[in-house]
């Protein structure tokens, strides 16, 4: 520490690995499945099919740079300080999560219960929502400027 205070700087690289999801779709119960009802009074009318192992799909990974500057200067027994941070320095806009809606492919082979074994990202009406953001929070937080002040004693 010198009599004019201390200046320190920092640089942080953050890597966030992608989260996973499972490709699944709700379909109407097949006749084979209905015939196997073990006696439920009101069996469900739909079932949820998972296509592939759990967690097969992956969202996007992201890497960001953050910087920090801190200045402190001693005054008798206390040390006031000021800190300035910039998060997401390069203002990346990586899409972290998105719509994962898929549809059972009626043209794919059927399993032993009469359910399709494949899926498509497009509905029978030709609508595709897969891969589209569902909220503004699906993206990396944009660049932030933060200013802090404090006293050490």
pLDDT (tens place) for every residue of the chain, 153 residues total: 567 899 999 999 999 999 999 999 999 999 998 888 888 888 889 999 999 999 999 999 999 999 999 999 988 889 999 999 999 999 999 999 999 999 999 899 999 999 999 999 998 888 899 999 999 999 999 999 999 999 998
- Whole-angstrom distance, CA of residue 105 vs CA of residue 109: 9
> How crowded is residue 148: how many other Cβ atoms within 10 Å of its Cβ?
11
- Whole-angstrom distance, CA of residue 101 vs CA of residue 124: 13
**DSSP H or E stretch at residue 34:** helix 31-35
- Please tell me the predicted confidence (pLDDT) of residue 1: 54
C-alpha distances in Å from residue 28, one per residue of 9, 91, 114, 124? 60, 45, 11, 15
Q: Is 24 helix (H, G, I), strand (E, B) or coil?
A: strand
Q: Given the DSSP bridges, would you call strands 103-104 and 46-50 parallel, antiparallel or unpaired?
A: unpaired
- Please tell me the predicted confidence (pLDDT) of residue 76: 86
């Amino acid at each position: 520490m010198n009599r004019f205070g201390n200046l320190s700087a920092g640089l942080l690289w953050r890597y966030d690995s992608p989260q996973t999801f499972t490709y699944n779709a709700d379909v109407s119960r097949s006749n084979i499945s209905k015939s196997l009802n073990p006696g439920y009074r009101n069996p469900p009318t739909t079932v949820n099919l998972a296509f592939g192992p759990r967690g097969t799909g992956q969202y996007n990974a992201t890497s960001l740079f953050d910087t920090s500057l801190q200045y402190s200067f001693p005054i008798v027994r206390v040390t006031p300080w000021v800190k300035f941070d910039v998060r997401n320095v390069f203002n990346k806009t990586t899409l972290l999560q998105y719509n994962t809606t898929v549809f059972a492919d009626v043209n794919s082979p059927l399993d032993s219960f009469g359910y399709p074994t494949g899926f498509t990202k497009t509905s029978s009406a030709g609508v595709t929502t897969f891969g589209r953001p569902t909220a503004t929070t699906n993206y990396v937080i944009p660049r932030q400027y933060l200013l802090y002040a404090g006293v050490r004693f």
